[in-house]
Structure 1
Amino acid sequence: MNTPTAGPAALAEKILHGVGGPENVESLTHCATRLRFQLHDGEKVDQAAIDALDGVMGTVRQSGDRFQIVIGGAVANVYAKIMNLPSMSGGGAPRPQSDADVKAAIRSKSRGRYAWVDNFFEYLSDSFRPLMGVLLGSSLIIAIASVLDALGVVDFRAADKSATWVFVDAMWRSVLYFLPIMVAYNASKKLKVDPWVGAAVMAALMTPNFTGMLNPKSGIPGVSCTTNATLGTQECVAHVFGLPMQLNDYGGQVFVPLLMVAVLALVYKGLQRIFPEAVHLVFVPFFSMLIMIPVTAFLIGPLGIWAGNGLGSGLSWLNGNAPIVFAIIIPLLYPFLVPLGLHWPLNALMLQNINTIGFDFIQGPMGAWNFACFGATAGVLLLSFRHREKEMRQTATGALAAGLFGGISEPSLYGIHLRFKRIYPRMLVGCLVGGVIVGVLGGVDTKAFAFTSLLTIPVFSPMATYAIAITASFFVSMALVYFSDFRTPEDRVQANAARDAAEAAEAAARGEVAATEDRELVTVGATAATAAASEGSPAQSASASASTAVAEAPSAGAGLTLAAPVAGRVVGLDEVGDPVFASRALGEGVGIEPADGHVVAPVDGELVTAVDTGHAFGIRTADGIEVLIHIGIDTVQMMGEGFDVRVRSGQQVRTGDLLVEVDLDAVRAAKHPTVTLMTVTNTADLASVEPHIGQDVAAGAPVVTVRR
């Protein structure tokens, strides 16, 4: 259970302490959901302590002493609290460079088998990540406009739209059109270049002066335009300084600024070495612009256009020639790309497609992955209500809201899915179903870069195909997670036990425990024994009466008891040699040193758990009593060898029904204790659970009394 905090300020202090203190922080940034630390020494991080904090959804270690903490929608607030701490007034401590550090840096450059890959994707990620907010904002404006268009309020494709709706267009086009300048700014910051220089270089190719040359009617001397008869496209060339320069509209481009800034970093840092530091402010930006604007216009710009078009054309070919394959690959690939931050290149291709061919075909299949992700979260949310898991309910509620209305998957991934290994396989089935539907029905396109949420459904075409696909993805994943659980059977038993203990503590703190005399005595499981005694011979009746005397004494002969699941010697949980059972974390109960391997049901009820390995069973009675039978200690390691299971999960059982035949010699040969444990896992919900120990019993004899 996560450690509670007093609010963002306390959380900020605990996070800073967990990463090794302010002296271990070289720099700190954040994105839409994560704090991103660059540390001096990544080994100083107490990852377990940070994971346990209330408000932290997950953590991710990266190479190069980088460490990420997933916060969710409150990340900006937590970031601000950390940066406002007195100890962080300097914004992080620069890394001291010793001789050993310099040598290590040189060695790392030559080593770099994987580091360069990390750096490449980190460059892409940090160039786009700060734009998440404005991209999301523009996508929602597009969604609203699309709804109005679908309802016939306005025709957004009309050539004679009013000034009002032209202005609405400008509200969302501003982000996409000037995206190259924004990307150049962020990329420059990432490579430690003056970001305004990078922005200025890109902006030079987007001024009215430059774009005006693309108009064949402009009459500018030295500009010639031709029309490609095959493609029907117009190509313009300007002769600048006597050299031909291909003209392009760079609005919405992403590959051009990424390539340009990579070259700019070399030029900028080279100039810093040439000029004295006293004149850096004047001459470094001046010569950087003087060099990079022509280089970008003549070489990098056309090269970036060509690279982006080539990648887009390749995916377009796959989408056109094998649409089903394409539609399946995309949603199955994304669940593995997003956690690693490797999805940004595909996002760049989406923007490239919109800018070059007027629409994108990647986002439609991608929606199947997103909604499969959200469906899995919905399944977890439903289970959290069913099992009264408050913390998981809060986490899943926030993650589902961020997903359905914002299209953001990180809270679901880091808060839930990556923590429970059973979720991913079930989520992938939802991805597959949605991808197949998109492929079979002919694909889905969009003319806008949109976060795949409920609010942006109208921007996809055909909208019906997209809606069917994401609905199927959502509900398939939700159903699979809900009906098979995101916890293993053993984890579920332990989680429920921890929940019961917490609820009991809360109830005790509120003084809500009712008086014992007002509670009902529940004697569960001895029905069969009692019936046998009443219907059998006098000798059998006497035997049954003797065996139940201890249990019935507290209630003057009225009620039932839990029966022994196996014959043997009854001992207390403190004597079984297992600290978990001895702590009563799994409830009160007994241990039985078995005389044989014939294990039976101790109570009537539903078999809610019957693990394949045969070492554990869970039964819930009609009255809601939850009983765990665990055969041996650490016998899960035997992988079912020596266990002949005779029942299945979901089956109704009666007291005395055979659950499993166990080869006790095989258990002993594997060096595991053979003691069989029986506990009431929801002990905290009951007035008392009274074990009756120190006796030798036959299977079916009463050994535990339960009081409500």
Structure 2
Amino acid sequence: MATKVDYQALSGEIMSRIGGEDNVSSVVHCATRLRFVLKDRSKANDDDIKKLPGVITVVESGGQFQVVIGNNVPLVYAALPASITADSEGVAQGGGSGNFLGKAVDIVSSIFAPILGPMAGVGILKGLLAVAAAAHWVDTTSTTYQILYAAGDAFFMFLPIILAITAARKFGANVFTSVALAGALLYTQLQAVTVLVDGEVQSMTLLAFQKAGNDVTFLGIPVVLQSYTSTVIPIIIAVWVQSLLERQVAKVLHESIRNFILPMVVLAVMVPLTLATLGPAGVWLGDGLAAILQSAYDFSPIVSGILIAMLWQIMVIFGVHWGIVPVFINNISINGFDPLKAACFPAVLSQAGAAFGLFLRLRDKQQKALSGSAALAGIFGITEPAVYGVTLPRKRPFVIAVISAGVGGAIIGATSTMVYGTGAPGLLTLPIGIDPSGTNNTIGWLVGGTAVSFVLAAVLTYFFGMTKEDLAKDAAAAADQKLAAEVDAAADSEETAPATESELTSVTLNAPVEGTLLSLTEVNDPVFRSGKMGDGIAVLPTTGKIYAPCDAVVKVAMKTGHAFGLRAAGGVDVLIHIGIDTVSLAGEGFITHVQRGESVKAGDLLAEVDLELLREKGLDPSTIMLVTNSSKFNVETSTEFGPVDIGKELIQVQPADTSADPTAQLTAHA
């Protein structure tokens, strides 16, 4: 069962491990990550953060310290101190790393990350509406269709205004001045004004006025108007220049007039400047970037599809994918379609497929559950849990997913598959592959290429995604979980023990094997070392004979001979585990001398193990002795670490002291 995460508490834990509020310049969040810009990177403790329940991993990219949470990142972000979140006006988001690429990635990711959720939502809505129209469930001439289309299309029409908000927060500009600036760009093509055409007063937009062959000037300077709906780069450039201008003008204005004179001056300068120079330059730059990638696609759609599909997830890891996200959006905004983004679908779903392949193959319940949830998240477009928690740490599945993505990308490229909307690639966004006009339906190839990548990654990962060592560790973990379950079941059984709990005065557990006494903290196994299975000790054996540490009944005897569960007097449950990961031997090298249900005396031989075989196999022979229900008793373990002989007293188990607990006393008397 998955552990329920307290995201309010997690937020505080993260803050304490990154150096507190004073060490945070800014923070934003995207679909899965908290993106911090830290003042002093050395104050952040990566390892401690990675161990927090609810945290998938920590990544550094583009000058940002990124804490990967998953789908619940908004809950953690909402619990962060208000003083550092980006919901206040004019909060600059930091400058990224010192190199140009790092700064560029930081800028683009900070501007686009906050809007990806709504952008994906409206993209899905438009895709589903296209499905409904294609299936004739709704008439495209009906007002119902038009209202829903407005709900899906308005985001893109007014995208410059939305980007003005996030860009202003990034560059430290006045948010509302930036919104007014973006609104002015759209005003020239959306709002009719009174103009003089051939000596007659007419009402039309300035853009239509210019397209009719008339000159648009500002103080005699020619202005070349553009269509700014759905554009990306012009408003980002304009807000950046606005932030520079605001800082300079603010220095010369008295505070008594600054709040209203500053926006007036900035707008009076920036609106004509943007319309005359920055806007057209931004449109040209966006079209130029799109043209370069489009040229590569035109040269070889297959190679282009393969490269984008194979490199996309790698670019996501390093954060440099943000550099081409605006190109995708620009293509759709200007042309109404994009052939490049289509190849991202196999890249995402192949990672989900690899995680699913591991889910099918793994026996370790914890890793199986992690892989299953990561695969599900990946299917819906969120790959961080799959990449950072499942495929990348194992390496092979990640490589398999990248190769499988290339196959799907080749199919998509070869068939000139297009998408007609935007959003995180995933199952729910597949409808953006439907052409609203119905003239170029390649949705079948988009689904097919993506499905091929998913299935291929799942199959190849199932058969080839784990090394022999991985399989052995998985089997060992599964066996330990089975053993723990059997021990718990035995503890809950009604079978009698040598004595009842009420009769327990003290149980002494002797050394089960000759060797060197170790603390549990020295054991090379995180489960035993953590003490989660109970208090106890470990012995590094020098002989291969394992003896009963006390009088008891054998409740669990693993067929592999590597572990035994004993029930001692008063209900004390003892686990003897011979070696680490020795279950992988499947009983080889072990001889069992007792059976389940058999009564044993202290010093009776339980099993024999071939220590030389364990060493040849590279296995740790450390033998663990635990009181698995130690929470019910007072357990004292020996601290005389060093050589021990058979029969040496190592653990004392006594009844829990309930004298200070009135409830416990009443329960006992009852």
Please say if residues 138 and 175 of structure 1, whose CA atoms lie closer than 8 Å, have aligned partners that are also in contact.
yes
Shift of 1:677: 5.0
Aligned residue pairs: how many?
537
Alignment of 1:602-621 (within 5 A): none
Q: 1:264 to 1:226 in 2, by over 3 A?
A: closer
Q: Distance in 1 between matches of 2:405 and 2:542?
A: 47
Q: 1:51 is aligned with what amino acid?
A: K
Q: 1:573 to 1:313 in 2, by over 3 A?
A: farther
Q: 1:379 to 1:592 in 2, by over 3 A?
A: farther
Q: Distance in 1 between matches of 2:618 and 2:38?
A: 50
Q: Distance in 1 between matches of 2:54 and 2:39?
A: 25
Query: Would you say 1:133 and 2:131 are equivalent positions?
Result: no
Q: Distance in 1 between matches of 2:479 and 2:119?
A: 45
Q: State the match for 2:431 in structure 1.
A: 458
Alignment of 1:686-705 (within 5 A): none
Q: State the match for 2:254 in structure 1.
A: 276
- Deviations 1:246-266, CA, capped at 9 Å, x for gaps: 222110000111111221121
Match of 1:435 among 409, 412, 430: 409
Q: 1:436 is aligned with what amino acid?
A: A
Shift of 1:213: 7.3
Q: 1:244 is aligned with what amino acid?
A: P
Q: Distance in 2 between matches of 1:56 and 1:13?
A: 13
Query: Would you say 1:345 and 2:329 are equivalent positions?
Result: no
Q: State the match for 2:79 in structure 1.
A: 81
Q: 1:577 to 1:132 in 2, by over 3 A?
A: closer
Q: 1:142 is aligned with what amino acid?
A: K
Q: 1:446 is aligned with what amino acid?
A: V
Q: 1:207 is aligned with what amino acid?
A: Y
Please say if residues 628 and 679 of structure 1, whose CA atoms lie closer than 8 Å, have aligned partners that are also in contact.
no
Q: 2:428 is aligned with what amino acid?
A: L
Shift of 1:219: 5.9
Name whichever of 431-440 and 123-132 sits farther off: 431-440
Query: Would you say 1:58 and 2:57 are equivalent positions?
Result: yes
Match of 1:207 among 180, 187, 198: 187
Please say if residues 35 and 67 of structure 2, whose CA atoms lie closer than 8 Å, have aligned partners that are also in contact.
yes
Q: State the match for 1:395 in structure 2.
A: 370
Q: State the match for 1:258 in structure 2.
A: 236
- Deviations 1:458-502, CA, capped at 9 Å, x for gaps: 33141111111001100111122222345x443553455455445
Please say if residues 493 and 681 of structure 1, whose CA atoms lie closer than 8 Å, have aligned partners that are also in contact.
no
Q: 1:490 is aligned with what amino acid?
A: E
2:79 alignment partner, SS class: helix
Shift of 1:363: 1.6
Q: State the match for 1:179 in structure 2.
A: 159
Q: State the match for 1:404 in structure 2.
A: 379
Q: Distance in 2 between matches of 1:582 and 1:119?
A: 42
Name whichever of 495-504 and 182-191 sits farther off: 495-504
Please say if residues 429 and 476 of structure 1, whose CA atoms lie closer than 8 Å, have aligned partners that are also in contact.
no
Shift of 1:619: 8.1
Name whichever of 414-423 and 490-499 sits farther off: 490-499
Q: State the match for 1:608 in structure 2.
A: none
Please say if residues 627 and 681 of structure 1, whose CA atoms lie closer than 8 Å, have aligned partners that are also in contact.
no
Q: 1:116 is aligned with what amino acid?
A: F
Please say if residues 256 and 300 of structure 1, whose CA atoms lie closer than 8 Å, have aligned partners that are also in contact.
yes
- Deviations 1:196-244, CA, capped at 9 Å, x for gaps: 11121111011267654799996669988788xxxxxx88752343332
Query: Would you say 1:490 and 2:462 are equivalent positions?
Result: no
Q: Distance in 1 between matches of 2:475 and 2:397?
A: 19
Query: Would you say 1:294 and 2:272 are equivalent positions?
Result: yes
Alignment of 1:418-429 (within 5 A): 418-429=392-403
- Deviations 1:530-563, CA, capped at 9 Å, x for gaps: xxxxxxxxxxxxxxxxxxxxxxxxxxxxxxxxxx
Shift of 1:58: 1.0
- Deviations 1:398-417, CA, capped at 9 Å, x for gaps: 43333323x23233233333
Q: State the match for 1:327 in structure 2.
A: 305
Q: 1:114 to 1:431 in 2, by over 3 A?
A: farther
1:188 alignment partner, SS class: helix
Q: 1:167 is aligned with what amino acid?
A: I
Shift of 1:348: 0.8
Shift of 1:180: 1.0
Q: 1:584 to 1:493 in 2, by over 3 A?
A: farther
- Deviations 1:556-575, CA, capped at 9 Å, x for gaps: xxxxxxxxxxxxxxx96759
Q: 2:56 is aligned with what amino acid?
A: M
Q: State the match for 2:145 in structure 1.
A: 165
Query: Would you say 1:303 and 2:281 are equivalent positions?
Result: yes
Please say if residues 430 and 447 of structure 2, whose CA atoms lie closer than 8 Å, have aligned partners that are also in contact.
yes
Query: Would you say 1:152 and 2:131 are equivalent positions?
Result: no
1:206 alignment partner, SS class: helix
Q: State the match for 1:640 in structure 2.
A: none
- Deviations 1:576-622, CA, capped at 9 Å, x for gaps: 9996569996999997999xxxxxxxxx99xxxxxxxxxx998868x
Q: Distance in 1 between matches of 2:17 and 2:526?
A: 29
Q: Distance in 2 between matches of 1:681 and 1:372?
A: 42
User: Where does the alignment leave 5 or more consecutive residues of structure 2 unmatched?
Assistant: 87-93, 434-440, 498-512, 545-558, 561-579, 591-611, 629-643, 646-670
Alignment of 1:32-51 (within 5 A): 32-51=31-50
Q: 1:430 is aligned with what amino acid?
A: S
Q: State the match for 2:103 in structure 1.
A: 119
Shift of 1:315: 1.7
Alignment of 1:578-597 (within 5 A): 580=523
Q: 1:129 is aligned with what amino acid?
A: A
Q: Distance in 1 between matches of 2:459 and 2:625?
A: 30
Q: 1:17 is aligned with what amino acid?
A: S
TM-score (norm 1): 0.66
Q: 1:619 to 1:356 in 2, by over 3 A?
A: same
Q: Distance in 2 between matches of 1:582 and 1:206?
A: 63
Q: Distance in 1 between matches of 2:10 and 2:475?
A: 27
Q: 2:52 is aligned with what amino acid?
A: L
1:468 alignment partner, SS class: helix
Q: Distance in 2 between matches of 1:293 and 1:358?
A: 27
1:451 alignment partner, SS class: coil
Q: Distance in 1 between matches of 2:589 and 2:294?
A: 56
Q: Distance in 2 between matches of 1:223 and 1:367?
A: 37
Match of 1:188 among 161, 168, 173: 168
Q: Distance in 2 between matches of 1:416 and 1:128?
A: 27
Q: Distance in 1 between matches of 2:444 and 2:189?
A: 44
Shift of 1:44: 2.0
Sequence identity (%): 26
Shift of 1:55: 0.8
Q: Distance in 1 between matches of 2:527 and 2:36?
A: 40
Please say if residues 58 and 66 of structure 2, whose CA atoms lie closer than 8 Å, have aligned partners that are also in contact.
yes
Q: Distance in 1 between matches of 2:525 and 2:32?
A: 41
Q: 2:80 is aligned with what amino acid?
A: I
1:205 alignment partner, SS class: helix
Q: 1:430 to 1:438 in 2, by over 3 A?
A: same
Q: 1:260 is aligned with what amino acid?
A: A
Q: 2:459 is aligned with what amino acid?
A: A
Please say if residues 626 and 680 of structure 1, whose CA atoms lie closer than 8 Å, have aligned partners that are also in contact.
no
Shift of 1:628: 8.8
Name whichever of 123-132 and 30-39 sits farther off: 30-39
Q: Distance in 1 between matches of 2:527 and 2:330?
A: 60
Q: State the match for 2:389 in structure 1.
A: 415
Match of 2:449 among 469, 487, 492: 469
Shift of 1:17: 2.4
Q: Distance in 1 between matches of 2:120 and 2:355?
A: 21
2:224 alignment partner, SS class: strand
Q: 1:278 to 1:394 in 2, by over 3 A?
A: farther
